[in-house]
Amino acid sequence: MKKLLLAFWSAAILLVIGPTTGGAIDPVVAQSTERIRPEAIRAHTEFLADDLLEGRSPGSRGHKLAVNYIRAQCEAFGLRGAGEGGGYFQKVPFVRAIVEEKETTFELKAGDSTRSLVYGTDFVMPDTHRDTEGSASAELVYVGYGVTAPEQGYDDYAGLDVKGKIAVTLWFESPPSFDPAVRAYYAGHEFKRANAAAHGAIGALYIRSPAMETLLPWAGVLRELRIGGLSLRWLQANGRPNGLDDALEVFPMLNRSGAEALFANEKWGLDEVLAAAQKGTPQRFALSKSATIKFHSRHEKVESDNVVALIEGSDPVLKDEYVLFSAHVDHLGIGDPVDGDSIYNGSVDNAGGCAVLLEVARLFAASPERPKRSLLFLFVTAEEAGLLGSDYFASHPTIPIGQVVANINVDGVTSLTPVSDVIAYGSEHSSLRTAVERAASQTGFTVSPDPFPEEGIFVRTDHFSFVKKGIPSILVNVGVKSTEPGVDALALLKQWMVTIYHSPKDDVSQPIHYETSARFARFLFWLGEGIAMDSERAHWNDNDFFGKKFASGRR
């Protein structure tokens, strides 16, 4: 049996049986769990989100301080280094690209007339890592969502010729008839880019739907792009940026004004195009215009660390299998000031997630009985720049990646109010659903469905780097069922996403309910324990889309 502390016992009763919380906790769990410390979660969060760490941008001094802190904590808890050379770190090489806005141009030609779009107002140019300059001059073809999905019987490119042309497509949109997670996969930039290249296009030009404008307003796009910290790609051994080894030269994104100019005097105007796409029946057609697009960009090399720490399993055979917990350390760094504050502290996103995971690591390390499988704690860099630290680890694993049975990712623990539920994004794809339900009922939570299916969260956090390696993976978070009378936790969260998320306001002044974070940490502990002790290895559901796409050949 694990240690029982009297203090915890009484706290557990207060926490779990009192009217402000959800269901009852399993008495075995209550008795066998090392005391979870809300104050430790608060203390880690306050350190990592302090102004002194300057928003933990990858490669910055603040990020180095953060990973040193996490390494020190892991070592003090008794975790072993499982990074490069048996240490705690894995160094990730990056190139950072900052677009030279004045030298980046977009000319739209219609017959004899040319219109110059204005950088920042009409268009932006993300992702200029391949070279310090580039250009494309070509005809434009509108390809709707830009999706080719044979297993869904769907192809936006059918009957279109985009060879040597620029494919115009909707940013982060895909056929609404698809299952939400499948829809999110096909909506992703990475898929659309590869598909455009596979069809012979030399550029991809993105337009934005009104729904996307609500989700991420243009001002937010500009703000994030101008924070150079976000504009990264990891470098392959040959020194080339990863993910850009195809024929695409340019991939700009248009604001509404730019998109209006694009579709002016065409067979269908912008509003008709957007309305049809929203209904799931996009027109696809060659535009009468062509575009000449040029960019200049400044490059610099950056290094930043992942932290990898291990608790070895107790079973002589199963210890070579791993349950992988992950959380990203980085945030946006220093950027455009909002109300006089320019430090993007990332307190909830994701100092809080790291803090919760540190407490879970401590609990495992302090338990006298270790689970059979090993537990790997991975604190990654450059999530905000596109899941890069996790993608690098998945591509350069310091343990055999085929031996990772599951990934549990923690990102943005938004305990704004006490809740009685947890959410496990993506658990419907694998046996992890059962593990989540078991751990939730052991720790007095219910499991709620994804409250934001339209946001495609399944493809937007670090666990997706492991899905692509065929590993059953989930993102877990506190839920949306408030236990405070009259408080609507979902409304609070939605409000938070619009007013605080990715702004300098996500700092230590956020009203985090650390008791709820601690209850969530207890859930994570039992989730990890359950997966690590299960007689069966976690597996994808039969015929699951992601299992079939990425896990064929895995045992």
Residues that bind Zn ion (CB under 5 A): 349
Shortest distance (Å) from residue 38 CB to Zn ion? 23
Q: How far is the CB of 502 from Zn ion (least distance, A)?
A: 6
First to last CA, the chain: 33
Contacts for 535 with CB less than 8 Å, ≥ 6 apart: none
* Segments in 233-330 forming alpha helices (H): 256-263, 270-279
Q: Name the minimum Å distance from CB 64 to Zn ion.
A: 20
Closest to Zn ion by CB, 382 or 551: 382
The partner residues of 206 in beta bridges, in order of sequence, read 169, 253
Least Cβ distance, residue 355 to Zn ion (angstroms): 15
In whole angstroms, the minimum distance from the beta carbon of 350 to Zn ion comes to: 7
Three-state DSSP class for residue 303: strand
Are the beta carbons of 146 and 158 closer than 8 angstroms?
no
Q: Nearest CA to 526 among 447, 439, 421, 418? A: 439
Task: Pick the closer one to Zn ion by CB: 497 or 533.
Answer: 497
Quick one: 216 or 286, whose CB is closer to Zn ion?
216
Farthest-apart Cα atoms in the chain, separation = 82
Q: Outline where 227-264 has alpha helix (H).
A: 256-263
Q: Which is nearer to Zn ion, 195 or 415 (CB)?
A: 415
- What distance in Å separates the CA atoms of residue 435 and residue 433, rounded to the nearest whole number? 5
Q: What is the b/e burial string over 117-146, where b = at least 16 CB atoms within 10 angstroms of the residue's CB?
A: bebeebbbbbbbbbeeebebbbbbbbbbbb
Tokens 């937010």 -> residue: 220
Choose between 50 and 506: whose C-beta lies nearer to Zn ion.
506
Q: For Zn ion, which is the closer residue by CB, 50 or 349? A: 349
**Least distance in angstroms from the C-beta of 346 to Zn ion:** 7
**Least distance to Zn ion, CB of residue 501, Å:** 7
Q: Min. distance of Cβ 324 from Zn ion in angstroms?
A: 20
Among all chains, which residue has been given the structure tokens 């390494």?
71
Nearest Cα residue to 400 out of 338, 320, 299, 497 = 320
The Cα 430–Cα 452 span in angstroms is 20
CA 139/CA 146 separation, integer angstroms: 16
CA distance 470 to 467: 5
Q: How far is CA 7 from CA 368, 445, 522, 530, in A?
A: 19, 22, 16, 25
The rounded distance, in Å, linking the Cα atoms of 422 and 409 is: 13
Q: How many CA atoms lie within 13 A of 68 on its CB side?
A: 8
Environment class of residue 277 by beta-carbon count within 10 Å: exposed (0-12), middle (13-18) or buried (19+)? buried
Shortest approach of Zn ion to residue 488 CB, angstroms? 23
| Cβ 188 to Zn ion shortest distance, Å | 16
Q: Between 349 and 544, whose beta carbon lies closer to Zn ion?
A: 349
Residue of minimal Cβ distance to Zn ion: 349
* Residue 66 C-beta: closest distance to Zn ion, Å: 15
